[in-house]
Structure 1
Amino acid sequence: MSRGEVRVAIINYGMGNLLSIATSLSRVGAQPAVINSINEAENFDAVVFPGVGAFKPAMAKLAENHVLVKRILEEKPVLGICLGMQLFYEGSEEGCSSGCFVEGLKVFKGYVRRLPNIVKVPHMGWNSIKVVKDSCPLFEDIPSGIYVYYAHSYATPPSE
């Protein structure tokens, strides 16, 4: 299968940077399509869960088809961007009073938590990252110390 034949579904759960993701995918030769129903994802080669938004309303939209979402996550290559990745965890503090969690998709163990007070929130700007070699094929060509842009207030602690 050539790159141009890769059909990528971008899940529209009522929020997110849908157009910028579609444009980026088109530039690298993929065929992106924004879909409004998770049911449509079965017709695609890969799936993107976009970023930008709030955990609780995004989960409310996805909860309607929770079983199908889990099956797609098991069967297809999936990319979660920002909030999209956070949804894969057991839950999040976002949108909840202290001490409770909004339930996530439970693909990964761990909980999304507000960044500690030692970091200015929202955490926005360019920061360098340390790449642990041989940790993941996705990082093979990414040099340690490269700067990447962050814009977030929540994260999953490494111990989780």
Structure 2
Amino acid sequence: MPSHRPDIRFDFKNTPVEFDEKNRLVTFVSEPDPERYEYQEKDGKKGYYDKFDKIFIPKALFEQIHLNLKGKQIFYSPSKIDNANKYLNDRIEATFNFFEEGVNNFNFDNTDSSKDFLVDLDNVKMNFVILSIDLKGSTKMSQELPIELNAKIISFF
């Protein structure tokens, strides 16, 4: 009979302790994010209570997860935005201009830069994250707006 292991999420707070400039390696201490987890004892077992998902994660499982991460490479691309509020304020005019200019002459671009990126990675092994954005109400929006305007909104995101 197959055993069912529930999917869990574990967020860590990482504190850098050393940076090797030459090899571009960061050594850091990783601990359960205190905003999300509370260390507790439940039924004689020590572990972490996840305040968001409202589940108890035994310390042994946490230690197993932590051991699996040891020595793994983490790729980091620093944010190009230093101040989110300033960036948004600076982008307001450009955003309005984006939607006002040439909606009727919108050019559907058939090139997909993600394909080129993936082809370049044929012989490279790396872990990466794909960010997906869900536009609330986009199905209804796509049915009510002209196709060119809907395409422009989608390309904006």
Q: What TM-score results when the alignment is normalised by the length of structure 1?
A: 0.23
More helix by share: 2
Structure whose CA Rg is larger? 2
